[in-house]
Amino acid sequence: MLRFARTQPLGLVALAVIAAMMAAGVLAEIAAPYDPVAIDFAAMLAAPSAEHWAGTDAFGRDILSRLIYGARTALSIGFLSSFVGCTLGAAIGVASAYFGGRVDDAIQRVNDVLLSFPIVVLALVVVAMLGRNLVLGVDLNLILAIAIPIVPKVVRVVRAAALSIREMPYVDAARAGGYSHARIIFRHMAPNVVAPYLIMLTAYIAQAILLEASLSFLGLGVVEPTPSWGLMLAGNAADFYREAPWMIVFPGVAISLAVFAFNLFGDSLRDWLDPKFRT
C-alpha cells in the first residue's frame, strides 16, 4: 500500500473517494440525517440550507439522505454486475484460448455478435426480456442485464492474454504429464490472467454504475421509492430543473465522481501491476 501510494498518488486519491462512498453506503443509517423515503410536503423543493444541506425534491425528501443511500444501491449493483460479468468473461476467455480450434471460433463469433450491439441497447434488451426478479430487495435480473454487456469485452482481453500463456513451456509440460484440462486451466492458466482481471473488474464497476443510472433514468432499473442516483435524475427532477436545479446537480455530481474515481483507480492499478510501467 505504501508503494502504491508513493508511485500512484492519483490512484490513492481515487481510492479515498471510493472508500468514502463505501463508508457512506455501509453506514447510511447513521450518516443520513433523514429518512430517504420520508415525505414532507411542508419542505417541498426547499433550497439547500442548514436544515437540508442539498435541498429537497418535489416530495420534500432530503436529497443528501437519498444520495447517501443511493451510494449503497450504486456500489452494490455496480460491484455485483462487474464481478459476474468479469468472472464469466474471464472463464470463457481462458477456455476459448486453451481449447482453440472450432471451440474458439464458435465462442468468438458469438462474442463478435454481442460486441456489435451498443452496451446500453444490449442491456435494455436483456432487462426488457427478463423483467424483474427481486431477491432480498436486489433485482437479480437488473444485475444480469448489466453484466451481460461486460462479458464479451472481458472475453476479448482475457483470451489475448491466455493465448500467449497457452504456448508457455510449463503448460506443455502439464499436458505431457497427463494433467486434466480443468487442472491446466485453473492451476496454470487462470492465475496468470488475474492482473488484467482485477483491472477490468475495477474499471467496469464504473461502467456498471453508469449503466444502472441510465436504466433507472429510463424506468427499467431501480424503482421508486428506492434511492438511486439515476432515478433521482428522472421524473420530477426533469420538471423542476429550473425552479430546483439542485435536484439534478447533486445526483449528477455523485454519478460523475463515482465513475471518475473508479476509472482513475483502474488506470492506476493497471500501471502498478504492469511491470512495463514500473520504474
Residue 255 confidence (pLDDT): 92
Q: Does position 136 have pLDDT exceeding 60, yes or no?
A: no
Q: Which of 149-163, 184-198, 229-243 has the highest mean pLDDT?
A: 149-163
Tracing cell 498518488 back to the chain, one arrives at: 9
Contact 162, 186 (CB under 8 A): no
Report residue 56: phi and psi, to 5°: -130, 165
Residue 267 confidence (pLDDT): 84
Partners of 138 in the beta sheet? 135
Q: What is the pLDDT of residues 247-273, one digit of tens each?
A: 888 998 999 999 999 989 888 888 877
Task: Quote the mean pLDDT of the chain.
Answer: 85
Taken in order 279, 205, 119, 252, is the CA torsion positive or negative? negative
Q: Does position 87 have pLDDT exceeding 90, yes or no?
A: yes
- The mean per-residue pLDDT over the stretch 15-39 comes to 90
275 falls in which pLDDT band (50, 70, 90)? low
SS3 content of the chain, % helix, strand, coil (to 5): 75, 0, 25
88 falls in which pLDDT band (50, 70, 90)? very high
Please, is 140 exposed, middle or buried when counting C-beta atoms within 10 Å of its C-beta (0-12, 13-18, 19+)? middle
Q: Give all domains of the chain, ordered by start, each with its CATH number.
A: 64-277 (1.10.3720.10)
- The mean per-residue pLDDT over the stretch 114-123 comes to 84
Residue 8 vs residues 17, 20, 21, 138, 260: alpha-carbon distances, Å: 15, 19, 20, 35, 16
Contact 255, 230 (CB under 8 A): yes
276 falls in which pLDDT band (50, 70, 90)? low
145 falls in which pLDDT band (50, 70, 90)? confident
Q: Does position 84 have pLDDT exceeding 90, yes or no?
A: yes
Residue 21 confidence (pLDDT): 92
C-alpha–C-alpha distance, residues 67 and 232, integer Å: 9
Q: For the chain, what is the largest distance between any 2 Cα atoms, rounded to a whole number of angstroms?
A: 77
Q: Is pLDDT larger for residue 125 or for residue 81?
A: 81
Number of residues that this document lists for the chain: 279
C-alpha–C-alpha distance, residues 228 and 220, integer Å: 12
Residue 9 vs residues 12, 25, 239, 269: alpha-carbon distances, Å: 5, 25, 41, 11
User: C-alpha cell of 90?
Assistant: 474471464
In which element (H, E) is residue 135 found? strand 134-135
- The mean per-residue pLDDT over the stretch 115-138 comes to 75
- Which range is least confidently modeled, 96-110, 128-142, 163-177? 128-142
Q: What is the pLDDT of residues 204-223, one digit of tens each?
A: 999 899 888 888 887 777 77
